[in-house]
Amino acid sequence: MQDTSKDHQVNLEQILNNSPDGVFTIGTDLNIRYVNPAFCRIMGFSAEELIGTQVLDYLGDLSIQEACDKEIQEHGYCHDQETIFKRKDGSMVHISKNVQAIIDDDGSFQEILVTIRDLSHLHQLNKELEESRNQLNDNNLDLSKMLDELRDTQAQLIEAEKMASLGGLVAGVAHEINTPLGISVTSASSMHIDLKALEEKFKSNSLKKTDLESFFNQAGQACNILNTNLYRASELVRSFKQVAVDQTYDELRTINLNEYLDEVLVSIGPSYKRSGINVESECDSAISLETHPGAISQIISNLIINSVTHGYNQGEKGTIHINFKQNADQITLQYSDDGKGISEENLSNIFTPFFTTRRGDGGSGLGLSIVYNLVVGTLHGKIKADSKEGEGATFNITFPLISH
């Protein structure tokens, strides 16, 4: 007669030897009796080195043994315990282990079958996710600080009654950074859903290698999206602060206006000469004033850039006129171009922060807003714009000969 029990034992060993999970058995003396190849790979030992040794020699956390023994005595098994094993090279490996008591036909305890799963990749993933979460928190803190700085800047941008309200400015900033922040929120939410799904599979012992590989790929993409878009949002705020604040302040000193105007036009020449636009200037060489030269430079630069960007089609030629005059203790600047002009609807909004007709083409809507604040806030002057479609645009600016 065929020995079926022996065949059954051979078949069981074949199954255990081919298992992707580590498997070993121990006797009542806690000596290891059998190990499968997967367990040897996880531990870094050969089967000959492991068999006959004490399992306690490899436990990184001895306190788990007492709790496991208690469950086996009460129920005959111990499921889903996570602990640490010591490898041959001295390193630690995080594992999840299931323990099952093997009983003889007469009901006597024979040995214990232990199945382990290497959780190193999962722990590494959790570590990387924690680092990404910390980085995200740091980025959010940086963005929050910059938004706080932006709120401080708002008071300097809005110094006149004709400017848009504080709420309008915040809405403009929100419009600029809404897209990268929206993408970041969506990406973070997706990563959270994927993480919960992975956790549920892990708790139910249904986690597969392909699940981890898929999650690694999705988490990596999500982290890249978060870092890219949060960096973009922070750069938008930082750029706004740089333009709005740094360009507003400079030292008070006495200049010859005609000489200074020439210097300004030479320095910004590359920004308009290639466009085919000609700039003509007129200023009495005797005008000397105590003022903020940086503000005058920024006003002229922004007006020219605004004309080149909005007043003419690409490749179209045109002429810009700049005329400075002194009237008693006042300086008058008349700036005009012969471009396409400004519609009546848009004319009332040109000094509003973030208002632009070319947002899709890279327009920020800050140029004329900064001009307004420099004239009114820094030079303590007045500015008025006149224009009709097809008839160019004119800006009339007046400010005191001596600034205080």
Q: What's the confidence (pLDDT) of residue 169?
A: 38
What's residue 160's pLDDT? 39
| Ramachandran region, residue 124 (left: φ > 0; alpha: ψ -120 to 50; beta: rest) | alpha
- The CATH topology of domain 4-118 is Beta-Lactamase (3.30.450)
The fold adopted by the segment(s) 253-400 is Heat Shock Protein 90 (3.30.565)
Contact, 26 vs 55, CB < 8 A? yes
More confident residue, 328 or 334: 334
pLDDT > 90? residue 394: yes
Least confident of 263-267, 284-288, 304-308: 263-267
65: left (phi over 0), alpha (psi -120 to 50) or beta: alpha
pLDDT of residue 395: 96
Query: Residue range 248-277: average pLDDT?
Result: 76
Confidence band of 79 (pLDDT split at 50, 70, 90): low
CA dihedral sign, ordered 303, 294, 156, 231: positive
What pTM was estimated for this model as a whole?
Answer: 0.43
Band of residue 318 on the pLDDT scale cut at 50, 70, 90? very high
What pLDDT score was predicted for residue 360? 52
Going by C-beta distance under 8 Å and a sequence separation of 6 or more, which residues neighbour residue 4?
Answer: none
- Name the band, by pLDDT with cuts 50, 70 and 90, for residue 44: very high
195-251 tens-digit pLDDT: 888 888 888 888 888 888 888 888 888 888 888 888 767 765 654 553 344 344 467
- Confidence (pLDDT) at 357: 65
Decide if pLDDT at 10 tops 70: no
Kindly state the average pLDDT of the residues 333-338: 96
Answer yes or no: are the C-beta atoms of 333 and 261 closer than 8 Å: no
Instruction: Kindly tell me the sign of the dihedral angle through the C-alpha atoms of 221, 192, 146, 356.
Output: positive
pLDDT at 242: 38
What is the amino acid identity at position 133? R
**In this predicted model, which residue has the larger pLDDT, 32 or 172?**
32
Among 32-36, 228-232, 264-268, 345-349, the minimum mean pLDDT is found in 264-268
The percent of residues above 70 in pLDDT, for the chain, comes to 75
The band of 392, judged by pLDDT with boundaries at 50, 70 and 90, is: very high
Segment among 114-123, 335-344, 371-380 with least mean pLDDT = 114-123
CB atoms within 10 A of CB 154: 15
The Cα–Cα gap between 312 and 340 comes to 6
| Sequence spans of domains, the chain | 4-118, 122-246, 253-400
> CA-to-CA distance for 215 and 195, rounded, in angstroms?
8
pLDDT reading at 63 higher than 70: no
What is the rounded average pLDDT for all residues in the chain? 78
300, 308, 292, 220: which is closest to 249 by C-alpha? 292
Q: Which of 80-89, 149-158, 260-269 has the highest mean pLDDT?
A: 80-89
Tell me: pLDDT of 16 over 60. yes
